[in-house]
Amino acid sequence: MRVLHAAGGLMLVLALTGCQRTSMSSFDTQPRATPLEAQPIGTVQSSQLPDPTADASQFPDKPVDSAAVVPGTTTGAATDTAAVTALDVTKESMVGNWRVASGPSSCDMFLTLTNLGSGSRGGTRGCAGELTAMGSWEVAGKQVVLKDRDGNSIARLYKTADTRFDGSTNSGQPISLSR
């Protein structure tokens, strides 16, 4: 029994010594922060803002987005029937092979989602005129903009049916895509 009491007492002493606080002040190399002193602040001023509607000339005209300019218009206002009645379009719905009719000729167009400059990679086969230089395309609002290899717009189209797009090239040649 004595051995049990001695072992229990020893366990109690060991447990209590584990609870003692140890100081690591010799390892504390961080200097203690001193409190900041209060700093004076400047005075606050107030005044009335001018009426923004009083002088409309102080605001510049809204810039015209060249990607939104519809062929045949000068301000970008959608006056072409295709632009006014255009259906919503997504980039994903454009991917793949399209049959192109441009004037009296037809050819093939391939559109991908691979990034190329500010648009996605695309190309044509068997096309004539401006479309031979096509290298990329992008969706801007409800229009599809075809671009040359330098990133310049060469044609704009609008979705007119589930698998049809109509528009024109920069030179005014009608163009349509269909599947």
Give the pTM. 0.55
How far is CA 22 from each of CA 13, 28, 58, 106, rounded to the nearest angstrom? 17, 13, 72, 88
173: Cβ–Cβ under 8 A, 6 or more apart, which residues? 102, 103, 129, 130
Could you tell me how many residues make up the chain?
Answer: 179
Asked whether residue 36 is assigned to any structural domain, the reply reads no
Asked whether residue 26 is assigned to any structural domain, the reply reads no
**Mean pLDDT across the stretch 78-96?**
79
Which pLDDT score, from 0 to 100, does residue 57 have? 58
Domains in the chain, number? 1
Which residue type occupies 145? V
Asked whether residue 62 is assigned to any structural domain, the reply reads no
Q: Which residues pair with 157 in a beta bridge?
A: 144, 167
Asked whether residue 132 is assigned to any structural domain, the reply reads yes
Asked whether residue 105 is assigned to any structural domain, the reply reads yes
SS3 108: strand
- CATH number for the domain spanning 154: value is 2.40.128.10
pLDDT in tens, 88-134: 999 999 999 999 998 788 999 999 999 887 789 999 999 988 999 99
Asked whether residue 94 is assigned to any structural domain, the reply reads yes
Asked whether residue 152 is assigned to any structural domain, the reply reads yes
Asked whether residue 108 is assigned to any structural domain, the reply reads yes
What is the domain extent for residue 171?
82-178
% helix, strand, coil for the chain, step of 5? 20, 35, 45
15 band by pLDDT with thresholds 50, 70 and 90: low
